[in-house]
Structure formats: structure tokens, C-alpha cells
Amino acid sequence: MILCCGEALIDMIPSDHEVAFKPLAGGAVFNTAIGIGRQGVDVGLLSGVSTDLFGTILENALEESGVNTSYLNRSSRPTTLAFVTLENGQASYAFYDENTAGRMMRPQDMPQLLSEDIKALFFGGISLAVEPCAEAYAGVLRKNKGGRLVMLDPNIRPAFINDEARYRARIAEMISHCDIIKISDEDLSWISAKDHPRDKQVADILSRGPELVCLTLGSKGVEIYDKSGLCFANPAPKITVVDTVGAGDAFNAGFLVSLKRLNALSRSELCKQSRTSLEGAVRFATAFASDTATRRGSDPAWNFIAP
């Protein structure tokens, strides 16, 4: 099983006439789990979920997409809401997250030792920016890395970070435990020294421990780096973008699905993969992400086959 660890929330998406909002199940980590489940790969979600109406929507969506819900922590606290603003298809967010079921997850609410059937862990999103849940998720990684493959997508929302120094320290520690970092060019510039060229910024990330960095460049596609430098680039397919909500999450899902199919859910097996195998995995993930951007909200395809 791949266990995705982090937020599940409701995206409030503008209607076609932008005079009302439609509630859709979402959240970066939730979206990644949904994308994996829809490809028939065994996946679960570790998250705090409310027993309110929106929490029911989230649980139903997980079950419909084949995501294991046994790692959910349920409470009567409210569900996090993210109001989405779209400009030329690009999404920005305003979060309502105080005292929510997801945010208030504490270390004692987390499983202490994960079962051996969990072969890979995924972390990311706003759940790493706010406390107490951020420290709780960092503790899960610290205690359960073992021989599991670990992937992280920081998906940074600077306006959501109250204590920047504490957040940077947390992310730095988590990166040191990871095998794969997926990061956007904007997030890379926020994490690394802005006056450094891009290859030096990526090298800084890799020097902290990971084996692979997937640097996403929006409509320009993705670049893949290992400790020797740039391995290859994969262009994004030409599409008509409806919105970008969930596209990066779909990339994460597609890449993990591909690694599962390659039997590469460990650092040792990841390092054994040929360039051809990795190119195929990235090509699938990029196509999967691009397809998601052709629909409103995060709605990853079922049983996707790359063109």
C-alpha cells in the first residue's frame, strides 16, 4: 500500500458565472490519494476528517475511488475550506482552517508504527505548514521511514505560514528523510537561495538527502534531476487548460503509480531504474497531470492510459 499523509479539505470552486461556489472534495494529499486509487493501486489516506457534512463528502469520495479509509481520524471539528480564485485557468487559494479536524491532528492521534504492508509514504501540502498537525506528520515520517520509499511535495502557500523559521526547519528535516522531492519552480525559489541558478537550487535540495527531484515547470513540463545533475526533461502535452486545480497532485499520483508498476517502492529499487524506465514513469505522470487540467476542479481520470 501507498499511504498518503496530509490534508483533506473542500475546494470551493467558482461556478461558470462566478457568482457562487461549488464544494468539491480536495486537498493536495487527498487529491494524490484519489489519483492513485483510480488507477487500481492499493492506497490509503492518513488524515483528520470531520463528521460534518463536508467530512461525509470527503469520505464518500475516498471510498468511491478505492482509497482505504482505515487511517482516518474522525472528529466533530469542522472541515477546512479552500476558496479558489481562477485567473486564466491558474488557481489561487484562500484557506479557512482554524480549529479544523485536519489542522488539530496531534502526535497522539497518529499511528505510532505503520504496518509492513505499507511500502511507500507521501507527504505534502498545507498540512506541513500549520500546527499541531505539521509536527504530527513530521513525527510519522521520522518514526516510519525505514525501508519505505518516501515522496514529498511541499506545495508551499507562503501566506499560510505563520512561523517561517519553524516551517523551514521542519521541511528541511523532512527532506532529509525523503527519496523523491517533487517541487514547482516557484516553490524551489522559495526554499532555496533565490540568487542561485536553478541547477544549483536543485543541487542544494539533493545535497540534503533525496535521490531524485522532479521539478515541474507548468506548461513547459518537468525536469528530472539526480545527484549527477539534470537527467532529462519531459515536455507537457498541448492541451486546453480549464483550470490547474489538482494538476500537480495528479503528477504525484501518476509518478507513484508508475513506480509501483515498476516494483520500485524502495530507495534501492528506485536507484536501480534505468533512464528509460524513469522517462516512462515521468511521461505517464505528466500526461496524467495535463489531462486533469482539462476539467474543472481536481478530477483525475480513471484507469488512465497515456497517449
Q: What is the pLDDT of residues 25-82, one digit of tens each?
A: 999 999 999 999 999 999 999 999 999 999 999 999 999 999 999 999 999 999 999 8
Query: What is the share, in percent, of the chain residues with pLDDT greater than 90?
Result: 80
Helix intervals (H) in 177-274? 185-191, 198-207, 247-261, 267-272
- Say whether pLDDT at 115 is over 80: yes
Mean pLDDT computed over every residue of the chain: 93
32 backbone dihedrals φ, ψ, rounded to 5°: -65, -45
- How much is the average pLDDT of 132-148? 96
Q: Is 169 helix (H, G, I), strand (E, B) or coil?
A: helix
Residue 99 has pLDDT above 80, yes or no: yes
Three cell numbers, residue 276? 528509460
Longest dimension (CA), the chain: 52
Spatial distance between the Cα atoms of 1 and 71, rounded to a whole number of angstroms: 12
Beta bridge partners of 183: 215
Amino acid in position 299: D
Domain boundaries of the chain, sorted by first residue: 2-292
Residue 1 has pLDDT above 90, yes or no: yes
Closest listed residue to residue 248, CA positions, set 280, 220, 199, 285: 285
Residue written as grid cell 513506480: 259
Q: Is the dihedral of CA 45, 51, 55, 56 positive or negative?
A: positive
Q: Which residues pair with 100 in a beta bridge?
A: none
Q: Distance from CA of residue 159 to its chain's centroid? A: 18
DSSP summary character for residue 15: P
Q: What is the pLDDT of residue 19?
A: 67
- Residue 76 has what pLDDT? 97
Q: Which CATH superfamily is domain 2-292 in?
A: Ribokinase (3.40.1190.20)
This prediction has a pTM of 0.94
Neighbour-count burial of 16, counting CB atoms closer than 10 A to its CB (0-12 exposed, 13-18 middle, 19+ buried) = exposed
